[in-house]
């Protein structure tokens, strides 16, 4: 077996907003696809508007069939829960600054998995489709898009592949239980629930989660959001998200971590001290002043947030992640219902599943 990198689409200029559909024209199995996006900020600072928020959808399609579908933040969160670290990103929200990010989509249990990978030759017309949006704070005509692939030479394409797809999005209510039926056509390896709202912790948005199969025949879990957050930290550890800002003292900065435990801050302004105050939400407050006691004002600040639940995404892993026989056999049940108890209104909540899908 040999591994090699291929450029499926060299970096190209793209419109301010739109959709690009690119053929996956390779004949060897792929263990990962990387979507690479770049842009430049316009002449004003762009607080809490990093590059990943501009990716509305990344899909793997074959004709009318959608095999994988996530937005930019969801791709980042899924990668965190596979690799144990945040994907490559340069997030700079200062005026006229450049931003760049890689959105990796893995198809196996690990990088280079010979038993779970994506074989494009098993589909009729495999394509990756990227949809992005525009914000006036980003410089018109500055966006670029490229596609890279990690190829596995010397092995046959696997008989199945791990695909992550958004099942449903709904807007939360202030209270009550929202019920969603999960697909039962293929085994489920991971379940994700995203509820992202500025300056709110994820377990405050969705307070309780229960997975019920055939009206109580099997209950996979029935636990608080705090429990799921602790399980995620136990399995995957804490994550770091690094960003540059131009801020004032007492500004709040979004960390994109559903529970932020701390933040390390640095400023380029001489004779100035700065730190971050956290309240275990997905944001951190800047506290800074000069050695003369003058409050920080429009200073360049680097912030490294530290916490769990990237992009406010819960994860539940079924069984042993390297053992397909232990994954959740959803097809053994007539109905699989995810019950989510809501704690705050007006939040877009998305449910995603990672399924072991035959090719």
Report the chain's mean pLDDT, rounded to a whole number: 96
Edge-to-edge order in the sheet of strand 89-90:
2-13, 144-153, 30-40, 98-106, 89-90
pTM of the model: 0.96
What does the pLDDT read at residue 2? Answer: 87
Backbone angles phi, psi at 101, to 5 degrees: -150, 150
Nearest of 253, 258, 309, 313 to residue 285 by alpha carbon: 253
Residue 1 pLDDT level (bands cut at 50, 70, 90):
confident
What does the pLDDT read at residue 268? Answer: 85
Evaluate the CA torsion angle 233, 47, 205, 320 in order and state its sign: negative
What does the pLDDT read at residue 13? Answer: 98
Backbone angles phi, psi at 157, to 5 degrees: -60, 140
Contact 40, 142 (CB under 8 A): yes
Mean pLDDT confidence for 51-80: 97
> What domains can be seen in the chain, in order of their start residue?
2-158 (2.70.9.10), 159-359 (2.60.120.730)
- The rounded percent of the chain whose pLDDT value lies above 70 is 100
Distances (CA, A) of 337 to 168, 213, 266: 13, 6, 46
Measure the CA–CA gap between 56 and 64, rounded to whole angstroms: 19
DSSP reduced 3-state for 343: coil
Nearest of 242, 246, 326 to residue 286 by alpha carbon: 246
Mean pLDDT confidence for 160-177: 97
DSSP 165-232: EEEEEEEPPSSSEEEEEPP-SS-EEEEEEEE--TT--HHHHEEEEEEEETTTTEEEEEEEHHHHHHHH
In this model, does residue 245 exceed pLDDT 90? yes
Measure the CA–CA gap between 188 and 347, rounded to whole angstroms: 25
């Amino acid at each position: 077996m040999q591994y090699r990198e291929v450029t499926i689409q060299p970096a190209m200029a793209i419109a301010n907003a739109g959709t690009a559909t690119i053929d996956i024209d390779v004949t060897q199995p792929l263990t990962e696809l990387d979507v690479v996006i770049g842009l430049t900020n316009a002449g004003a600072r762009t607080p809490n508007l990093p590059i990943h928020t501009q990716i509305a959808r990344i899909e793997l399609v074959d004709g009318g069939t959608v095999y994988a579908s996530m937005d930019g933040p969801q791709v980042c969160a899924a990668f965190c829960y596979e690799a144990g670290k945040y994907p490559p990103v340069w997030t700079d929200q200062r005026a006229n600054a450049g931003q760049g990010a890689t959105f990796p989509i893995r198809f196996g249990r690990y990088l280079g998995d010979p038993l779970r990978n994506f074989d494009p030759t098993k589909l009729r017309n495999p394509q990756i489709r990227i949809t992005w949006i525009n914000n006036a704070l980003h410089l018109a005509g500055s966006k670029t898009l490229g596609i890279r692939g990690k190829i596995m030479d010397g092995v046959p394409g696997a008989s199945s592949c791990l695909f992550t797809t958004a099942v449903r999005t709904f807007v939360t209510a202030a209270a009550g239980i929202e019920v969603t039926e999960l697909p039962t056509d293929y085994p489920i390896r991971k379940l994700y629930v995203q509820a992202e709202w500025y300056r709110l912790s994820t377990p405050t948005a969705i307070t309780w989660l229960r997975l019920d199969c055939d009206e109580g025949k099997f209950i996979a879990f029935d636990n608080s959001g705090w429990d799921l957050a602790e399980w995620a930290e136990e399995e995957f550890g804490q994550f770091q998200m690094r960003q540059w800002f131009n801020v004032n003292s007492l500004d709040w900065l979004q960390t994109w971590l559903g529970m932020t435990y701390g933040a390390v801050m640095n400023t380029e302004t001489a004779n100035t001290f700065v730190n971050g105050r956290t309240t275990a939400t997905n944001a951190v407050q800047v506290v800074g002043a000069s050695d003369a006691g003058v409050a920080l004002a429009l200073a360049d600040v680097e912030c490294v947030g530290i916490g769990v639940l990237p992009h406010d995404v819960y994860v539940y892993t079924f069984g042993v992640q390297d053992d397909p026989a232990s994954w959740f056999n959803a097809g053994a049940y007539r109905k699989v219902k995810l019950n989510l108890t809501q704690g705050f209104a007006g939040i877009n909540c998305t449910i995603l599943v990672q399924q072991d899908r035959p090719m």
